[in-house]
Amino acid sequence: MAGVNKVILVGNLGKDPEVRYLDNNKVVANLTLATTENYKDRNGNKVENTEWHDLELWDGLAKIAEQYLTKGKSIYVEGKIKTDSWQDDQGNNKYRTRIRVQNMTMLGGGGTPGTSGVASEQRISVDNNPPASPPASPTAETASDDLPF
């Protein structure tokens, strides 16, 4: 049976995108996204838990991120989890987990000077398949995203 690797996140950017232009007209943008959940613990105290996610956008989405996204901007993303592993100079195993974004919606508020308080959104869906062997990634991806349904 085929598995499903799908992530949906809504949060705010922690910093401006870091965009790199690679060989063969490939573009990659790296972002950090904060998702925050608020709840009350057993004693009734308010708890705020923020998780930080590393996002990776390729080509068309990376160019859009470079042009429109800034620190504090709210976005909705859909993608998949990717984990790289390697050994450092001392032979220790290291891991890095990121979200490879496949679709993005820019939400209203945050990071955009001169906008009103009215919520707006813009859906961006671009073929966001990276090269078969990304030069910035320690491992290569060869799996297909095609699902039989």
Of 135, 9, 149, 2, the residue nearest 79 (C-alpha): 9
| Length of the chain (residues) | 149
For range 103-117, the mean pLDDT: 64
Asked whether the predicted pLDDT for residue 6 surpasses 90, the reply is yes
Of 71, 76, 68, the residue nearest 31 (C-alpha): 71
Domain architecture of the chain: domains with CATH: 7-125 (2.40.50.140)
Q: How sure is the predictor about 112, in pLDDT bands with cuts at 50, 70 and 90? A: very low
Predicted confidence at residue 110, as pLDDT, reads 59
CB atoms within 10 A of CB 122: 12
Q: Which comes out higher in pLDDT, residue 128 or 46?
A: 46
Measured between its terminal Cα atoms, the distance across the chain in Å is 12
Q: Say which residues have a Cβ less than 8 Å from residue 103's Cβ, sequence separation at least 6.
A: 77, 78, 79, 123, 124, 125, 128
Predicted confidence at residue 116, as pLDDT, reads 37
Predicted confidence at residue 30, as pLDDT, reads 97
Asked which of 21-25, 74-78, 135-139 is least confident by mean pLDDT, the reply is 135-139
pLDDT tens-place string over residues 24-80? 889 999 999 999 999 999 999 999 999 999 999 999 999 999 999 999 999 999 999
